[in-house]
Amino acid sequence: MEFYKMHGLGNDFVFTMSGAGGLERLQGMAKKVCDRNFGVGADGLIVLVPSEKADFRMVIFNSDGSEAEMCGNAIRCAAVLWAQKNPGAMEPFAIETLKGIQLARITDRTGKDWKVAVDMGEPALAPSDIPVEAEGDSVVDMAFTAGGEELEVTCVSMGNPHAVAFVDRTGRDIMMRLGPLMEKHPAFPRKTNVEFAQVLGDGGIRVFVWERGVGPTLACGSGACAVAVAAAVSGRAGRRSRIDLPGGSLDIEWSKDDGHVIMTGPASFVFKGKLTDSYAGGWED
């Protein structure tokens, strides 16, 4: 099985266009392929397959084998891979995901890392859309308790659930301590991604992310969008933010005109490889 290793700000993925074995079999292989000791190593396995209503369909399997609705860093990588495989293809690329069709265009092709702008669509704030068990029209700065500590949490869906906790000082320690507890908090019936965000003096927002089904990652594109929206609705920032993640920064703009969130950032190619027949269980492209 031929694959491509790519990353968006260190959030890394194994991409394949080899769908001969079927998506169910690929999902079963995701945990093995993503293992950093016994596999290729990645935060997720991404499968690009034909689509009847878009340029292609992107199927996302987390490193634990679960399927994700959307991944902002993966979709930037997918756009770059598609552009390199299909030179001259018309932009923006329409990419089908479980969230719906997302539009992506390459904004800078100079250098090793191309930059991609993705229309991530409109965020959802209603509790039923996230989903989170809460009353009211939205969850903004609501008190949640995890590990005996209280957090002020704002919930946003970018097609996948996010719980954004604004803290005085973020970092790996609070993420590792409270991230897994918040991911599986009983208020979130489908679990949730968790972002620990600190508003900086220069207008940026520093973020550490615990991803649902993955754990700590160096970056999360949909999480960066959720943080920017959460900062805006809670009055901590305007509609445009620089989100600083351990792997680098993303520019996020929440449009006043159509309510869509635009994410801009890099996507990087690492290497190309092929899984042996014995590893892939006799899979042939």
- Is 131 found in the same domain as 99? no
Using the predicted structure, report yes or no on whether residue 280 has a pLDDT greater than 80. Answer: no
Domain assignment present for residue 285? The answer is: no
Instruction: Identify residue 187 by its one-letter amino acid code.
Output: A
Instruction: Provide the 8-state DSSP code for 128.
Output: G
| C-alpha to C-alpha distance for 69 and 159, rounded to whole angstroms | 6
- Is 252 found in the same domain as 160? yes
Q: CB neighbours (10 Å) of residue 118? A: 26
Question: Do 182 and 190 meet the contact criterion of CB atoms below 8 Å apart?
Answer: no
User: Which residue from 91, 129, 127 is spatially nearest to 107, judged by alpha carbons?
Assistant: 91
- Is 253 found in the same domain as 172? yes
Q: What is the mean pLDDT of the chain?
A: 95
CA distances from 23 to 110, 183, 265 (A): 34, 26, 29
- Is 248 found in the same domain as 147? yes
Instruction: Identify residue 215 by its one-letter amino acid code.
Output: G
Q: CB neighbours (10 Å) of residue 218? A: 18
pLDDT at 32: 94
- Kindly list the catalytic residues: 71, 220
> For residue 44, what are the domain limits?
2-121+268-280
Question: Do 251 and 265 meet the contact criterion of CB atoms below 8 Å apart?
Answer: yes
pLDDT tens string 118-138: 999 999 999 999 999 999 999
Domain assignment present for residue 204? The answer is: yes
Domain assignment present for residue 117? The answer is: yes
- Is 179 found in the same domain as 115? no
- Is 152 found in the same domain as 50? no
| C-alpha to C-alpha distance for 63 and 100, rounded to whole angstroms | 22
Confidence of residue 19 (pLDDT cuts 50, 70, 90): low
CATH code assigned at 57: 3.10.310.10
pLDDT at 21: 61
pLDDT tens string 240-265: 999 999 999 999 999 999 999 999 99
Average pLDDT over residues 87-113: 95
pLDDT tens string 186-200: 999 999 999 999 999
Q: Point out the least confidently predicted range of 2-6, 17-21, 56-60, 158-162.
A: 17-21
- Is 171 found in the same domain as 82? no
Domain assignment present for residue 54? The answer is: yes
Q: Map tokens 């959030």 to a residue.
A: 11
| C-alpha to C-alpha distance for 143 and 134, rounded to whole angstroms | 11
Percentage of the residues of the chain whose pLDDT score is greater than 70? 97
- Is 131 found in the same domain as 76? no
- Is 195 found in the same domain as 85? no
Query: What is the number of structural domains in the chain?
Result: 2
Adjacent-strand bridge partners of 156: 162
pLDDT at 20: 53
pLDDT tens string 143-183: 999 999 999 999 999 999 999 999 999 999 999 999 999 99
- Is 82 found in the same domain as 144? no
Tell how strand 11-16 and strand 44-49 pair up.
parallel
Tokens of 130: 């996230």
